[in-house]
Structure 1
Amino acid sequence: MYTYVIVPASVDLAAGRSARREPGLKWCRFGDRVIYWTTGVADSAAGRRVRTLGTAEQSSRGLPHLVVQSGNSFRENFPGIRVIVDCGRYLAVELSDDEVLAVSHGSGADYGVEPLPPNVTVVVEARHAGRRARTTDLALTVLADQVSATHLKDSLLTLTTFGTRHSLSEGYRQAGDWVTEVLRTLGYAVTRIAISVGTGSSFSIVADKPGRLGNPQLVLVTAHLDSINHADGPLAPAPGADDNASGSAGVLEIARILADRADDQDLRLVLFGGEEEGLLGSEQYVQGLSQRDRNRLLAVINMDMVGSLNSARPAVLLEGAPVSQGLIDELAASAHDYTTLAVDVSLHPFASDHVPFITAGLPAVLTIEGSDSANHNVHTRDDTLATINYSLLCDIIRMNLVTTAKLIGTKTSINDLERWRQSSMDLD
């Protein structure tokens, strides 16, 4: 048995610090709420301390667990399981021993379940968000303003017309051919990397743009190109507009905007195959990464599901690990200065192409739409263009574009600035 109480984070600031010194008392923060709990006898010292923190004391014979990445999908699979805290992509739930067994045999392709980690923050608003003056730079503003909803719509329209982009399908091959041609036309050096997907073979697409320095660092911007239909089978329609034509279109948009600009560092764009089968493309890419590239890899910015507005506020989740904290801070600052996005942060990486990099000790961050509470369409035939919110999509891409430009040292020409000033005057 355990006893728990949910405390608003604002209250926790006053009461929680002293409570956390109580032996046997555990805590876990989910955004604006903190769960305190203790296992064992409710009238123990820790149990009595729980009762001093709030009036919503609960007792349960189950144990608290954490659901990561797709709380909505978990709730659809297990509607009878008690949810303690719903924080969009993250849930705190209580599970009996039988429910733990049932969950372990459930479909976990979209989410992970683990015992609730004690004394950690699962997800929180980005540091300094909304509490510092904006520090925009004219050259970066010029770049951010180049993000075009029209270009993104065109890319999404093409990417969703291949029937399915299952990694072993003809549709995926056709999508890969189209993406390759787009990137080559922009001037990138494009190669394909063969990958294994089960007993079959597929590929990832890599596009390089060299920097001007003699010994450049390397920045990766990535997304997965494949899609899947879990509901009806691998050959069923899987337009994958949000998951993940949105991220792939974002990579192409960043490629378009940076194509003709001079950079100090090397830029590499990667569109992975095999993500929906278990991060196969990114895992095999990291395994094959040369020691030189590992040593000079500055950042990996991954886009996965960046186009569906599933919450009242336009929001982005930055998901990484301690090795990614510097990159998370850069992305959060770019979001604050150049977009209207609310930013949440989590250091619990799961089930997207940033994970193999983090596992290898490399700084990678997943950028993903802020919540999945209303997104019931992914991995079905209903993940269509109708699910896309272009304002949100453009803002997340602006954040990633500006951060990429900072990292690679993109130069903005005088002509760019003059064109931007003229367009601004025309709008006035």
Structure 2
Amino acid sequence: MSMSAGCGDEVDQEKKNSTDPKINRVFNEISVDSIESNIRTLANFHTRHTTSDTTSDSTGIGAARRWIYDKFQQYSQASGNRLRVSYESHLETDHARLDKPTRIVNIIGVLPGTQLESKERKYVVSGHYDSRVSDVMDDTSYAPGANDDASGTAAVMELARVMSTLEFDATIIFMAVAGEEQGLLGSSHYAEQAKSRELNIAAMFTNDIIGNTIKSADGSVHDDEVRVFAQGIPPEDSLSDEHRMLLATGGENDTPARQLGRFIHRVGEEYMPDLNVNVIYRKDRYLRGGDHSPFLDRGYPAVRFSEPHEFYERQHQDVRVVNGVQYGDLPEFVDYAYVGKITKLNAAVLATLANAPARPREVGIDVSKLENNTTLLWTPNEEPDLKGYEIVWRPTNQTFWEHSRFAGDTTRFTIEGVSKDNYLFGVRAVDQYDNRSPAVYPQPVRN
């Protein structure tokens, strides 16, 4: 079935969802006190270095991971055992940042989806619980790692605590990973296993360094902004056909990761209008990396949440005082209310993704003839609560979608009088509750 809308019709501005009562409930239950308590507990393990003590009950990474696991188990019991908790481990025997064979252990909490057609679709959120000091090989010195990355780990724990009591169509995976500071070891293993098992990870985001709001250069406070790093065309030795076509059609800023960044920005506007979601067009900070990187490298859409300005005197530093300046990643430097804000943003994005339909498949733009209309087509979704599809578009020099038009329950739609030469297009699925999927950039087809 094909439908069309003429240029004489009213061109809709980009629509905003009405807020979801379920997300408002999650917001009300997220506790800054709980987040602070978990960050301070993690900082009290003396060090959580990946190769540190695993036998002590009070210090080292072993004590830290057992404590996180026990907390996840408590959340599971409170959810009626719906949250499925497990360790995932592997042995690393040869790595430049390891001086001995080391078992890397992730703590996983899986909240299964409840809709048959959606439960195999998975959304992963992570923080890394290992820490370090100035010397990346030093596994005995005091390394509280309060911001890097007890803040992200505590955010994931709070998300698991609150969201595991609710039901979502798709599956959510809460993950505390190890080995980040030694080379993204825990996340790399998980991503590789996911790829080999052909898991449908529709989106992944990591929370890494989300607790500082002070700009060290001038002491100004920036608690109303968060960075979301979203990769464009990856720096591959040889470009895939998909990436070649993105470049050929001017869609280099419409990769799945950047569509996810747009989605996060949109949800932020709806639920947290006082928080500026700054989508950064980079994979990560300049020549740096994080636990989303292994997912991107294996073809999964993934982004990173980080505070707006890192405070380098407090990151990857021995705890010490020099000329009256306190160095080190101490819990007294964390803005706990800010961590709560970023946790809420994560919750809104996760809940919206997990209840929305899957992204439309096989999205195309008809190039069979030269014309000033634009026709898009796609394969139908399978969700029983699907309402239809929405066409979105924006000028080629703009970052976010500016216009949208509901196409209805069809698989082909023409926007009359809007030329594909002048605009970039996307298609997203919409359910009966007006939950929208991230948009999909169309590939040229002759139909």
TM-score by length of 2: 0.59
2:222 to 313, 316, 329: 313
Which portions of structure 1, spanning 4 or more consecutive aligned residues, are displaced by more than 6 angstroms?
A: 131-134
What does residue range 146-185 of structure 1 map to in structure 2 within 5 Å?
146-170=29-53, 171-185=60-74
Residue 209 (structure 1) aligned with residue 105 (structure 2): no
The farther-off stretch of 189-198 and 393-402 is 189-198
Give the helix-richer structure, 1 or 2.
1
Q: What secondary structure sits across from 2:107 in the alignment? A: strand
Partner of 1:377: 314
Residue 302 (structure 1) aligned with residue 211 (structure 2): no
Partner of 1:92: none
2:101 to 175, 182, 200: 200
Whether the 8 Å contact between 1:218 and 1:268 is mirrored in structure 2 is: yes
CA distance in 1, matches of 2:107, 2:116: 25
Deviation digits for residues 388-424 of structure 1 (CA, Å, limit 9, x no counterpart): 11221111111001111111129xxxxxxxxxxxxxx
Q: What secondary structure sits across from 1:208 in the alignment? A: strand
CA distance in 1, matches of 2:168, 2:337: 28
Residue 219 (structure 1) aligned with residue 129 (structure 2): no
CA distance in 2, matches of 1:357, 1:231: 27
In structure 2, relative to structure 1, the CA distance for the partners of 1:132 and 1:241 (3 Å cut) is farther
Partner of 2:3: none
Q: What secondary structure sits across from 1:186 in the alignment? A: helix
1:238 aligned partner, one-letter code: A
1:361 Cα deviation after fit: 1.2
Q: What secondary structure sits across from 2:29 in the alignment? A: coil
CA distance in 2, matches of 1:231, 1:360: 30
CA distance in 2, matches of 1:277, 1:264: 36
CA distance in 2, matches of 1:141, 1:238: 36
Partner of 2:279: 345
Residue 333 (structure 1) aligned with residue 333 (structure 2): no
Higher relative contact order (CA 8 A, sep 6+): 2
CA distance in 1, matches of 2:18, 2:126: 27
CA distance in 2, matches of 1:359, 1:255: 26
Whether the 8 Å contact between 1:149 and 1:390 is mirrored in structure 2 is: yes
TM-score by length of 1: 0.61
CA distance in 2, matches of 1:306, 1:281: 20
1:385 aligned partner, one-letter code: P
1:266 Cα deviation after fit: 1.0
Task: Name the % identity.
Answer: 25
Whether the 8 Å contact between 2:195 and 2:298 is mirrored in structure 1 is: no
In structure 2, relative to structure 1, the CA distance for the partners of 1:133 and 1:258 (3 Å cut) is closer
In structure 2, relative to structure 1, the CA distance for the partners of 1:262 and 1:309 (3 Å cut) is same
CA distance in 2, matches of 1:276, 1:212: 36
Q: What secondary structure sits across from 1:136 in the alignment? A: coil
1:191 Cα deviation after fit: 1.8
Whether the 8 Å contact between 1:323 and 1:361 is mirrored in structure 2 is: no
CA distance in 1, matches of 2:198, 2:26: 27
1:285 to 165, 190, 197: 190
1:378 aligned partner, one-letter code: Q
What is the aligned residue count? 278
1:337 Cα deviation after fit: 2.6
The farther-off stretch of 131-140 and 235-244 is 131-140
1:193 aligned partner, one-letter code: E
Deviation digits for residues 24-59 of structure 1 (CA, Å, limit 9, x no counterpart): xxxxxxxxxxxxxxxxxxxxxxxxxxxxxxxxxxxx
1:293 Cα deviation after fit: 4.5
